[in-house]
Structure 1
Amino acid sequence: MKTSRKEFIRNTALGTAAGIAAPFQQFQTENRANNSRNKIGVSTYSFWQFNGPKEETPVSECIEKAAEMGFDGLEILWMQMGSYENSHLQNIKRQALHAGLDLMGFSTHQDFLTPDEEEREKEIEKTIEQIELAYRLGIPTMRINTGRWGTTGSFDELMANDGKEPVLEGYTREQGFRWVIDAIARCIPTAEKCGVVLGLENHWGLGRTAEGVLRIVEEIDSPWLQVTTDTGNFLERQYEQLEMMAPKTVLLQAKTYFGGGKWYSLDIDYDRVADIFAAADYRGYVSLEFEGQEDPDKAIPQSLDLLRQAFV
């Protein structure tokens, strides 16, 4: 039986395709792997660490240093802003653009963990204003926290107690969860309107454990509330809790402690951390939070090298 010219060409093409399909698929897989490294940013906190007046370490200086050191992006600590005037915000955006940096995170503070309804209302209003600031800066995700019970005298004392503090006398943890959940839920419509994903961090208070963070996030059940994971804020069951947080993480904050930590040092295996987040298909930013006592100008580039080697 004769084969027509069209059939001959078709069969030849199919044979050739079959011959190259497997190598091509392998190439695609390898290419994805080669392009799968997470971008690495740095928090402005790394340059300041509350050492001296914030005016001595302005965001503009952090932008220039981060660019010179080779970072991909910058996470801005809200407390370090200096001014919230629109002209100042737009100058930050312009400077970051010229420096080749993404403004990829906005790190804020809340104190929803209080029985005082008026105080919670003020915190809600402040958080809504912070979301709008992130929007004006073009930042897509904002770190929030639960707040603390305030039963520990100072932050140094809190750290000495591994972040644990007694529940406020006369109240319960269940009441605390209700206050925090209701307050954050009030902020969700603004987050959606502005296109800013809130990331609840494992940052003491009811967020000291992955279980506490996830309870709040899962009860609110909104795509506009996810998780900011801090590798340095789990002081026990570290990798187990990181695995729990990874699937909902929108920003991964990576602590380093060159020169010894300000409050404590953790031995963090970043190869293992990278594997945990790769398994959860996390493709977002890793944001360095340097919290050591070494000179930041020396330790921050060392930290970048460490994270680049792990998150490949």
Structure 2
Amino acid sequence: MRNLQPDRRAFLKSAVAGIPLVATAGTTLDRRSITNAGNDKSGPLRLSCNLYSFNEPLMSGQMTLEQVFTFCSELGFDAVDPTGYYFPKYPTLPDDNYVYQIKRKAFRLGLDISGTGVRNDFTLPDLTRRKAEIELVRQWTGLAARLGAPVLRVFAGTGKELPAGYNRKEVTAWVVDALRECADYAAKQGVLIVLQNHADFIRTADDILEIINQVNSEWLAVNLDIGSFKIGDPYGQIARVAPYAATWQLKENLFVDGRETETDLNRIMRIVRESGYRGYLPIETLGKGDPRQKVPVFYEKVSKALAAVSPSGSSTTTR
């Protein structure tokens, strides 16, 4: 990573003008944390940008992945997390030439690729369709390996309601079997499968920890989405799940007893540190507004919160 530290005050003033938009195409935990078993709570933490923050301009063709990479590099991010559906012809895999051009672009900008992800649903009653969803994850696991992404984000299921005629135990068994198969394949590719809690089939800490423990694979971990625990106390649930996280999604707001509230970022950073987590903290901005304005503002807030809880002398997000 570069040691060049950008002048962020100047950047914040020029962010909108800097890159023009162009029209171009209760569960009992019976085993140790599978990811963060170390006792050192002062390890390195760096910031990544989950590119869903740029969903509207990317999906409309107003910005390209290359332009978003440039924006993130100039702002000071250490990494980016481009979801699969920002690649051409998703869910069909892009050709290797495109993948390697994207990988080269990130490297030349001083960015790591901290992860990627897909849309999938393992709660479908039809076995043939579930097999197709598993195959989708397998294909994109291979792409993640070629891209140099250490994790692939997946879902349990995208629906909030159980399939008609089935109970939660039955559907959970489908999800566990699918994830176990995906994790076995991912182990051969050197890529972690990370399961995201997304307020769908997975709504609570109990929901995600039940699945993680049943799969029981060192190649399955959690993508901890702090904004998607919408029942009860999110901070308590985040703290319970944090030791199992291999990556995160930090959001501007979360839900306290179902009410949307601004995230207490200092509190989140203390949870991150206490969990022993080391690695990237992807941020994700949501809602209306130009991401070229919103992302720098949230980036600054997260950076300050991270600095506030970082032990003296430890490695943080600066580069």
Normalising to structure 2: TM-score of the pair?
0.77
Q: Deviations over 1:43-84 (max 9, x none)?
A: 111112x46734333221211111111111000111111251
Pairing partner for 1:195 from 187, 190, 193: 190
- Aligned mate of 1:126, from 124, 136, 139: 136
Q: Does 1:213 align with 2:208?
A: yes
Rounded to whole Å, the distance in 1 between the matches of 2:265 and 2:284 is 14
**1:145 equivalent among 139, 151, 155:** 155
Structure 2 CA distance for aligned equivalents of residues 131 and 68 of structure 1? 29
Are 1:46 and 2:53 counterparts?
Answer: yes
Q: For residues 142 and 208 of structure 1, what CA distance do their matches in structure 2 show?
A: 20
Aligned CA RMSD, in angstroms, stands at: 1.8
What is aligned with 1:100?
A: 110
Can you list the C-alpha shifts for 1:9-66, whole angstroms capped at 9, x where unaligned? xxxxxxxxxxxxxxxxxxxxxxx98x74510010111112x46734333221211111
Secondary structure at the residue paired with 1:143?
strand
Equivalent-residue separation in structure 1 for 2:113 and 2:150 (angstroms): 8
Q: Which consecutive unaligned segments of at least 5 residues does structure 1 have?
A: 1-31, 150-164, 258-263
Query: CA offsets per residue over residues 235-279 of structure 1, 9 Å max, x none?
Result: 13200110111001010111126xxxxxx9532101001101100
C-alpha displacement of 1:294? 2.8
Q: For residue 69 of structure 1, what is the amino acid of its counterpart?
A: L
**Secondary structure of 1:288's aligned partner:** strand
- Return the TM-score normalized by structure 1: 0.78
The structure 2 residue matched to 1:181, chosen from 159, 164, 176, is 176
Q: 1:54 to 1:123 in 2, by over 3 A?
A: farther
Match of 2:125 in 1: 115
1:204 positional shift:
2.8
Q: Of Structure 1 and Structure 2, which has the larger fraction of its residues in helix?
A: 1
Name the residue aligned to 1:81.
Answer: 87
Cα distance change on mapping 1:129 and 1:54 into 2, 3 Å: farther
Residue 280 of structure 1: which of 259, 269, 275 is its match? 275
Q: 2-side partners of 1:134 and 1:111: how far apart?
A: 19
The counterpart of 1:64, out of the listed 39, 61, 70, is: 70
Larger mean Cα displacement after TM superposition, 119-128 or 206-215: 206-215
Q: Deviations over 1:213-249 (max 9, x none)?
A: 1111111111100100011111132001101110010
Matches of 2:262 and 2:248, distance apart in 1: 17
- Measured in 2, the distance between the counterparts of 1:124 and 1:294 equals 35
1:245 aligned to 2:278?
no
Alpha-carbon distance in structure 1 between the residues aligned to 2:102 and 2:112: 11
Aligned partner letter, 1:242: I
Give me the whole-angstrom Cα distance separating, in 2, the residues matched to 1:146 and 1:170. Answer: 19
Same amino acid, percent of matched pairs: 30
CA distance in 2, matches of 1:110, 1:248: 21
Cα distance, 1:190 vs structure 2: 1.6
Q: Is the 1:58–1:81 Cα contact (8 Å) retained in structure 2?
A: no
Q: Distance in 2 between matches of 1:100 and 1:183?
A: 36
Larger-gyration structure (1/2): 1
Q: Which has the higher contact order (CA 8 A, sep 6+)?
A: 2
Query: Distance in 1 between the 2:153 and 2:274 partners?
Result: 23
Find the residue that maps to 2:165 and give its secondary structure: coil
Between the aligned partners of 1:99 and 1:89, the Cα distance in structure 2 is: 16
Structure 2: how far apart are the matches of 1:98 and 1:216? 39
